């Protein structure tokens, strides 16, 4: 769920840092635990890394020393089993030639036991060696590797993690999401295929392919992770979420006075639900925009405290009304319980919860961190049991088939919903 962003300029007098800076901001939603940016130019390395947001680390006292014609950057979403002693990416390695530096940034998790240094060493070898290595490197990942004369972008052989390439003038840009390329005024050229290895140098870029396994991008990108203005493998995230809401009503109809979206990730599905149902849509819950994404905070206490100051109701829209509240997902249940409390305190008559994804029932996802199944509110519970637990008058989820339909009927990675998992033995 982290984000990576890299830029290679074919002209050595162009500083790519301004493009990277904008790209990092565009991907900040993917990780708020730590960030890093590293640039290379004429044997010189310049970098800034640290805990927290981009704005916590890149400031007036260091921004002027960040320069290079090739650079990588990273925003980190931590997993509970990550090594907490490791510095933020990109990491710097010295692959062999005296003084030569290589950068690597990774979004994802590996099933094979492999270290980033080993990956960096392989990416400095022949293309045949790289193809063989990636063909058998199991996991959900995208990788950026850079030296002064080239940049390499890799999408895992299952295509679980997204990666897209574009350009702006003499700069070739690779990003986890298309929104970060477009935010720079760049043009999106190509969504990397499963197992695709792209080598970028001063002459442009060329694609090679590892052995594709079973193309299955992560469906949770469409539900929650990706920004709504991104395109994932040719599918508009905004359009998919709108269709989720429409299908959600088709599968779980209800009569009510208004439809409300849970800010921010439930808003688009709520619009779709209102459109399909003919029920009036209201922005009746306001989100404090200075609070980050609750789900990706690392501890339960932090998430609960964050929810209390994150959301506030507009009571005149709610008092005495039967309300449909649409949210993108229920994982632990903290957020939805708090929102229901807010609605009840505002004088709502009935609360109908509609969720634009199936119940999250499995842990061990390679794309977001749910370490223990007992933390999942839907694990080993029926929908009726969850309804009683959260205090709603009714509860309905989109089916997995309905979610697939909304997202373009591709073959997706769906382990958290009990669906397709290419690694299941």
The pLDDT tens digits for 87-96 are 999 999 987 7
| Residue 231 forms part of a structural domain | no
- Model pTM score: 0.92
Do 199 and 321 lie in a common domain? Answer: no
Total structural domains within the chain: 2
143 is written with which tokens?
A: 């990788």
Asked if 207 and 325 sit in the same domain, the reply is no
Which residues lie below 8 Å from residue 111, measured CB to CB, with a gap of 6+?
138, 139, 366, 423
Last residue of a domain, one of 182, 215, 248: 215
**Does residue 227 form part of some domain?**
no
Is 328 annotated as ligand-binding? yes
With respect to residue 233, please indicate whether it lies within any of the assigned structural domains: no
Q: Are 197 and 169 in contact (CB under 8 A)?
A: no
Q: Where are the beta strands (DSSP E) in 333-391?
A: 350-355
**229 labelled binding-site residue:** no
CATH code at 86?
A: 3.60.20.10
**Model confidence at 80, in pLDDT bands (50, 70, 90)?**
confident
Q: Which two tokens stand for residue 149?
A: 């004369």
C-beta separation of 104 from 114 below 8 A: no
Domain of 243: which CATH number?
3.40.50.2020
Q: Is 327 marked as binding a ligand?
A: yes
Q: Let me know if residue 415 belongs to a domain.
A: no
How far apart, in Å, do the first and last CA atoms of the chain sit? 24
pLDDT tens per residue across span 308-358: 577 889 999 999 999 999 999 999 998 899 889 989 999 999 999 999 999
Q: Which domain covers residue 10, as residue numbers?
A: 3-215
Assess whether 166 and 260 both reside in one domain. Answer: no
Compute φ and ψ for 29, nearest 5 degrees.
-65, -20
């Amino acid at each position: 769920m982290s984000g990576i962003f890299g830029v290679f300029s074919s002209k050595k007098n162009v500083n790519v840092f301004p493009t990277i800076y904008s790209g990092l901001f565009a991907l900040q939603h993917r990780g708020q635990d730590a960030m890093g940016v590293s640039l290379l130019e004429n044997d010189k390395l310049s970098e800034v890394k640290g805990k927290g947001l981009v704005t916590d680390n890149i400031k007036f006292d260091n921004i002027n020393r960040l320069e290079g014609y090739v650079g990588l950057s990273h925003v980190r979403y931590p997993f509970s089993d990550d090594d907490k002693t490791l510095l933020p990416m990109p990491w710097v390695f010295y692959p062999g030639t005296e003084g030569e530096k290589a950068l690597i940034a990774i979004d994802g998790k590996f099933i094979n036991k492999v270290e980033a240094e080993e990956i960096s060493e392989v990416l400095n070898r022949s293309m045949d060696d790289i193809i063989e290595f990636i063909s058998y490197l199991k996991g959900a990942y995208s990788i950026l590797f850079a030296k002064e004369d080239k940049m390499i972008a890799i999408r895992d052989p299952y295509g679980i993690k997204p990666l897209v390439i574009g350009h702006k003038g003499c700069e070739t840009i690779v990003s986890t999401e298309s929104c970060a390329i477009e935010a720079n005024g760049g043009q999106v050229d190509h969504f990397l295929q499963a197992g695709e290895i792209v080598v970028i140098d001063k002459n442009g870029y060329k694609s090679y392919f590892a052995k594709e396994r079973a193309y299955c991008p992560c469906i949770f990108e469409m539900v929650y992770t990706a920004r709504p203005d991104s395109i994932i493998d040719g599918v508009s995230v905004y359009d998919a979420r709108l269709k989720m809401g429409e299908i959600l009503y088709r599968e779980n109809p209800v009569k009510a006075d208004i439809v409300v979206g849970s800010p921010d990730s439930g808003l688009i599905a709520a619009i779709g639900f209102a459109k399909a149902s003919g029920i009036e849509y209201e922005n009746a819950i306001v989100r404090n925009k200075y609070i980050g994404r609750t789900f990706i905070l690392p501890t339960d206490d932090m998430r609960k405290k964050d929810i209390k100051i994150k959301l506030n109701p507009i009571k005149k829209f709610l008092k005495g009304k039967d309300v449909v509240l649409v949210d993108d997902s229920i994982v632990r249940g903290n957020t939805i319980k708090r929102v229901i409390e807010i609605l009840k305190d505002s004088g709502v008559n009935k609360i109908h919860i509609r969720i634009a994804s199936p119940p999250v029932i499995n842990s061990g996802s390679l794309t977001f961190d749910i370490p223990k199944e007992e933390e999942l509110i839907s694990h080993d519970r029926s929908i009726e049991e969850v309804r009683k637990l959260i205090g709603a008058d009714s509860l309905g989820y989109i089916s997995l088939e309905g979610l697939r339909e909304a997202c373009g009927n591709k073959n997706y990675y769906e382990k958290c919903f009990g669906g397709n998992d290419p690694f299941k033995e």
